Structure 1
Amino acid sequence: MTMKSALLLAFFILFTMGKIDARDTLTVSSKKLVYKLNIKDNIMPGTWRNTQHAFAEADSLGADLMLIHMNTYGGTVLDADSIRTKILNSPIPVYVFIDNNAASAGALISIACDSIYMRKGASIGAATVVNQTGQAMPDKYQSYMRSIMRATAESHGGDTIINAQDTTFRWFRDPIIAEAMVDDRVYIPGIIDTGKVLTFTPKEAMQHGYCEGIAENVPEVLEQIGVSDYEIIEYEPSFIEKIIGFLVNPVVSGLLIMAILGGIYFEMQTPGIGFPFAIAAIAAVAYFAPLYLEGLAANWEILLFIIGLILIAVEIFVLPGFGIAGLLGILFSFTGLVLSLIENVVFNFDGIQPEKIMTALTTVIIALFAGFMLSLFLSKQMFTAQHGPFSRLSLNEVQEKEQGFIGVDTSMKSLKGKTGTAYTVLRPSGKVQIDGRIYDAVSNVGMIDRGSTIVVVKDEAAQLYVEKV
């Protein structure tokens, strides 16, 4: 047997014994594995969830680089900050291709990446924190955004320069430029004047260190990176993940809370258990299930909400008036709804940003108030309106006194002056028997023993008053 034959035989034996696999062949492939994540919608909790799954899958596949294909006008700062942190801590190099827009939260994510590539006509910047109406938030929120934008730019620091006076740094991405994308008070000579929020075009971004190249598509980006032989695997969220992403949207969560409150309210207006209760139950499941799967809502938080509903039901249907049980029920239900939106561990809120807590509180409070007002409006329109769709389920007729309708039994007025016997002891109230029928009665003077003869002396508000004969 020749040496070549012996080597081939040894290779075959080792391969069949599982000592080596297809990756250990004599010819090693130089093909790079590129994992692509699309961020082409508003940045929401679902975006952060998809990012976590994408990075985990890229790591398990041994990807050589991550490429974020971006086109977004922004979204929630908290979720963008989580994505930013994930990128900064990633052992896999992360590149971003801005296809058209990287505004606001999108700019923050882009700056966190190792390299930025932009398409002609694209833009990056305009990271001022705004509310849902587009109005700038108070400076407390802007200050937080300014700091994380600066910190993100500083994470891509350049060379350290030591002069005679002190130590200075030359940045690849100037932190002051990043701050100018948030604060219109920042003045940078030759770049931006006060009163304007900074937004870069591709050429401007390249000139000032916020873009490494201009490309028309993903292959051109990879070519500029220096990757020619590659395989692209694109993250594709499953159908269930898409549903979860939709349900954890703060707007949808608020609508579900409104449905829960409205279902409970309408159920209290109708006899038995029916359609409104089903709506409330489905809305509760749709609210808590995705939060539970995401690790936000814990078992005890869901249980707290259920206990709150039970206490409210006990207060309404069992106990008279409205007291401790009702107040505790409202508190428990409200707390369960709020805490399910926060990544707390029991009542430990370490590491949770105040903005996250305020967002959860605002979502629940606005949803509860809107749900209550909407329930009152719909109740009037659907149930009490003369031609409402559910008008037959409620009593709309008024029994007028002039038409002979009264609220008490008048038949006992004819018993005045009649005699009977005390069916029980009257002290002073009890029961009497008159003409073979039992009536509730009150002794008008003193106690009356059982079996004594009595006479009806008066009747007031359907109540007989008797005296011993």
Structure 2
Amino acid sequence: MRVNRWGKRWLAPLLAWFAVVVSLSSFAGPAAAEAGPAVYVVPVESTIEQGLQSYLERAYKDAEEAEAERIILVISTPGGRVDSAEQIGKLIRESDVPTTVFVEDMAVSAGTYIALNAEHIVMKPNSMIGAAAVVDGSGTLIDNPKTISYWTTKMTEAAKLNGRNPNIAAKMVDVNVVLDEKTDGIAKGKGEILSLGAEDALKVGYADHIAGSVDETLQWLKLGDRNVIHFEMTAAEKLARWLVQPAVMTILLILGIAGLAIELLVPGFGVPGIVGLAAFILYFFGHYVAGFAGLEAVVLFVVGIVLLILEIFVPSFGILGTLGSLSLVGGVVMAAPDAVKALVSLALAFVIAIVIIFWFAKRNNKRGVWNRFILRDALTAEEGYIPAPSLDWLAGKSGVTLTPLRPAGTVEIDGERFDVVTAGEFIQAGKTVKVVKVEGVRVVVREEV
């Protein structure tokens, strides 16, 4: 009966979790706007990562379905992930709707690459573009020749798309490139990364116009009379962008693994299970809304949870547990955009979660599921049990065998009969023996010579 109650307790939350992930995904955004000549204004703000990529994919799809005349990307970003920038650049190039970039504040690093893929670049006074050197997660400049060569090639090819000087794009990446005033329109020696203000960018062809606002940009494009659709990120997408960040993703995995494991091993608290379930809901919700996870990943994860629960109550010699663990790992990895990074995050989360589980189980060792298999009642007189009398006082005593010892038999010591054994030898009745060892109620004797 306890098993059924426990199963019901977890079945409802699991089904609810599955429903929540599916239902929340319906808030990904509005349907396509009404058809007609329109201009889509799409903000590109903050760090460039997978969540932004998914949002822009939805924006471009919506604009194409609405047969929009142009998309204006309003960029204000310090850069971000190179791989996401590449995918966004590809999205711009392959779209049927032409793109104009309006640099509102700065389009540096990966933001520069996105801008170079657009048909036009319009910059706001005092805005900046460039400084596209490759850095690691801590902001340290990467000097790996292969990495620099790869990103330089990507930048120069993007510059060539609309007839911009590729040398300037290369200087934005590689400190070893030298620019000449006569041939490149600007001078820059070795050891420096190039960034351009609005005026300099206009001078060297990296800006097509300087405008103070999106409205001025529309007037310059002769689209001032068009219907303007401001395409904003939904609340779900904003949350998803935060949830798919590597650090947040790892924390969610730690909370999810530790919470569910504690609830399974030390049941009765409720809170760890709720926290663990909520963490996994947020993990899959973020990746689902960001466009990385499909329902198959969610289903695989739920199957893994069910198999692990069954392993506790159904003897399977570890088969259910193994299959459940594989399903969990498969679901987490399938939901992530990068399988290798997901495995690294999962491994790190698992190690930290093990420490948390061990600490929690140690502090609550009397409540663990393992206590069902351990007899902890002490057979003491206080508990009503009658303990066997101690025979330690027989040690060193001598007596006479009443029966042959083969090797067990009976001896008389101080007028009392005791069951004894020898170390293996045979002793006839009527012989004098001495007690050489007492172990509880086991008395060992040997014949006295």
TM-score range, shorter chain: 0.5 to 0.7
Identity of aligned residues (%): 28
The whole-number CA distance in structure 1 between the counterparts of 2:166 and 2:312 is 59
SS at match of 1:368: helix
SS at match of 2:72: strand
Task: Specify the alignment match of 1:43 in structure 2.
Answer: 48
| 1:341 maps to which of 320, 323, 336 | 336
The whole-number CA distance in structure 1 between the counterparts of 2:282 and 2:378 is 46
| 1:186 maps to which of 153, 177, 192 | 177
Task: Specify the alignment match of 2:247 in structure 1.
Answer: 251
Unaligned runs of 5+ in 2: 1-34, 182-186, 368-375, 392-422, 425-436, 444-449
The whole-number CA distance in structure 2 between the counterparts of 1:182 and 1:371 is 40
Q: Is the 8 A contact 1:412 1:459 kept in 2?
A: no
Q: Is the 8 A contact 1:262 1:280 kept in 2?
A: yes
The whole-number CA distance in structure 2 between the counterparts of 1:415 and 1:226 is 106
The whole-number CA distance in structure 2 between the counterparts of 1:229 and 1:41 is 30
| 2:200 maps to which of 195, 199, 204 | 204
The whole-number CA distance in structure 2 between the counterparts of 1:373 and 1:117 is 53
Note the aligned Cα RMSD (angstroms): 3.8
Task: Specify the alignment match of 1:173 in structure 2.
Answer: 164
TM-score when normalising by structure 2 = 0.66
Is the aligned partner of 1:64 residue 2:46? no
Give 2:335's aligned amino acid. Answer: S
Q: 1:360 to 1:185 in 2, by over 3 A?
A: farther
Q: How far did residue 97 of structure 1 move? A: 0.8
Q: Is the 8 A contact 1:38 1:235 kept in 2?
A: yes
Once the two structures are superposed, residues 343-396 of structure 1 have per-residue CA deviations (whole angstroms, 9 ceiling, x without a partner) of: xxxxxxxxxxxxx4443334333443444455566x49xx84xxxxxxxx6669
Is the aligned partner of 1:361 residue 2:367? no
Give 2:154's aligned amino acid. Answer: I
Q: How far did residue 245 of structure 1 move? A: 3.3
Once the two structures are superposed, residues 264-316 of structure 1 have per-residue CA deviations (whole angstroms, 9 ceiling, x without a partner) of: 34325633362111111121122123434555324443444445455656667
Give 2:171's aligned amino acid. Answer: A
Q: How far did residue 336 of structure 1 move? A: 2.8
The whole-number CA distance in structure 1 between the counterparts of 2:310 and 2:216 is 67
Q: 1:282 to 1:47 in 2, by over 3 A?
A: same
| 1:95 maps to which of 93, 96, 100 | 100
Task: Specify the alignment match of 2:137 in structure 1.
Answer: 132
The whole-number CA distance in structure 1 between the counterparts of 2:378 and 2:204 is 85
SS at match of 2:122: strand
SS at match of 1:291: helix
Unaligned runs of 5+ in 1: 1-22, 24-30, 157-171, 343-355, 385-392, 397-404, 417-443, 446-457, 465-469
The whole-number CA distance in structure 1 between the counterparts of 2:334 and 2:441 is 53
Once the two structures are superposed, residues 25-54 of structure 1 have per-residue CA deviations (whole angstroms, 9 ceiling, x without a partner) of: xxxxxx962210001221222211221121
The whole-number CA distance in structure 2 between the counterparts of 1:111 and 1:303 is 41
Give 1:118's aligned amino acid. Answer: M
Q: How far did residue 74 of structure 1 move? A: 1.1
Q: Is the 8 A contact 2:379 2:387 kept in 1?
A: no
Q: 1:366 to 1:215 in 2, by over 3 A?
A: farther
Name which structure has the greater RCO, CA cutoff 8 Å, separation 6+. Answer: 2
Q: How far did residue 255 of structure 1 move? A: 2.0
Task: Specify the alignment match of 1:82 in structure 2.
Answer: 87
| Greater mean alpha carbon deviation, residues 288-297 or residues 172-181 | 288-297
The whole-number CA distance in structure 2 between the counterparts of 1:461 and 1:407 is 17
Q: How far did residue 67 of structure 1 move? A: 0.8
TM-score when normalising by structure 1 = 0.64
| 1:270 maps to which of 244, 263, 266 | 266
Once the two structures are superposed, residues 109-147 of structure 1 have per-residue CA deviations (whole angstroms, 9 ceiling, x without a partner) of: 111110111112111111222232112346254444223
Q: Is the 8 A contact 2:78 2:111 kept in 1?
A: yes
Q: How far did residue 68 of structure 1 move? A: 0.9
Task: Specify the alignment match of 2:155 in structure 1.
Answer: 149
SS at match of 1:413: coil
Q: Is the 8 A contact 2:241 2:290 kept in 1?
A: no
Task: Specify the alignment match of 2:276 in structure 1.
Answer: 280
Give 1:81's aligned amino acid. Answer: E
